[in-house]
């Protein structure tokens, strides 16, 4: 029996995650809430073979520590990270055995992004619903909007500067656009583009789940 523990619920809701990776045959998948400091010390007693970290807490509780992760990796458990806390920790520990997956991981691993603020969001602690927009999602969307000639590079830089200067629990597209100098026509086109753009943190989380699902087929 292969036992897998996945920490998520925010970037990828549990029902969507289970459509990609769920218990079957000789595989047991256990989904848990976003990881926090101390969780690994308890959950390792369940003897998992693979741990996937998508979401974790940043400011609500102490975040998962590097030593905790290294102790688990050194015990022989495969640890994979993507999307949010998983991407951040994987970029810091990839040379020591943690596996990183996806766009967000690559942004951290290459040094293009350095702050955990870029993936931080305010969440409803009960429903795990995101109540703000992560900066890394906004940057991804605005970068693509420049490529599609919806906004200029200078307009993107203005939007990102507004978003960065906004405390993360209050960061969202509506507030950012309202505070910008973009004219109404450009704002309208950008809003339509935002509505059809992928949530890159969610896509990365799904990529991690597919990666693990392929391993245990």
Q: Report helix, strand or coil for 19.
A: helix
Q: What are the tens digits of pLDDT across the range 127-173?
A: 888 889 999 999 999 999 999 999 999 999 999 999 999 999 999 99
pLDDT for position 126: 82
The Cα 37–Cα 99 span in angstroms is 20
Using a 10 angstrom Cβ sphere, with 0-12 exposed, 13-18 middle and 19 or more buried, the burial of residue 5 is buried
CA-CA distance, 129 to 209, in Å (whole number)?
20
What pLDDT, in 10s, does the model give residues 46-73?
999 999 999 998 766 789 999 999 999 9
Fill in the DSSP letter of residue 150: S
Residues whose CB is less than 8 angstroms from the CB of residue 152 and which lie 6 or more positions away in sequence, other chains included: 146
| pLDDT band for position 80 (cuts 50, 70, 90) | very high
Q: How far apart are CA 105 and CA 11, in angstroms?
A: 14
Whole-number pLDDT of residue 188: 97
Report the distance separating Cα 17 and Cα 13, nearest Å. Answer: 6
Mean pLDDT of 101-111: 96
- What pTM did the predictor assign? 0.94
Res. 100: pLDDT tops 80: yes
Among 169, 171, 209, 200, which Cα is nearest to 54's? 209
Cβ contacts of 184 within 8 Å, gap of 6 or more:
none
pLDDT for 176-196, tens place per residue? Answer: 999 999 999 999 999 999 999
- Give pLDDT, residue 60: 65
**Average pLDDT across the chain, whole number:** 95
């Amino acid at each position: 029996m292969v036992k897998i523990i996945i920490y998520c619920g925010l970037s990828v809701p549990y029902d969507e995650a289970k459509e990609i990776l769920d218990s079957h045959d000789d595989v047991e998948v256990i989904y848990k809430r976003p990881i926090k400091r101390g969780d690994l010390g308890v959950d390792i007693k369940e003897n998992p073979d693979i741990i996937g970290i998508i979401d974790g807490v940043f400011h609500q509780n102490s975040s998962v520590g590097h030593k905790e992760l290294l102790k688990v990796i050194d015990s022989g458990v495969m640890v994979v990270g993507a999307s949010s806390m998983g991407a951040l920790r994987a970029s810091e520990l990839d040379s020591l055995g943690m596996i990183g997956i996806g766009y967000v991981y690559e942004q951290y691993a290459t040094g293009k992004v350095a702050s955990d603020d870029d993936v931080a969001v305010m969440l409803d602690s009960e429903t795990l619903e995101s109540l703000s927009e992560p900066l890394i999602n906004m940057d991804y969307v605005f970068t693509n909007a420049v490529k599609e000639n919806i906004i200029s590079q200078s307009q993107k830089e203005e939007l990102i500067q507004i978003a960065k200067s906004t405390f993360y629990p209050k960061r969202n597209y509506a507030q950012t656009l309202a505070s910008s100098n973009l004219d109404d026509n450009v704002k309208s086109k950008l809003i339509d583009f935002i509505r059809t753009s992928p949530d890159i943190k969610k896509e990365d989380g799904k990529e991690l789940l597919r990666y693990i699902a392929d391993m245990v087929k």
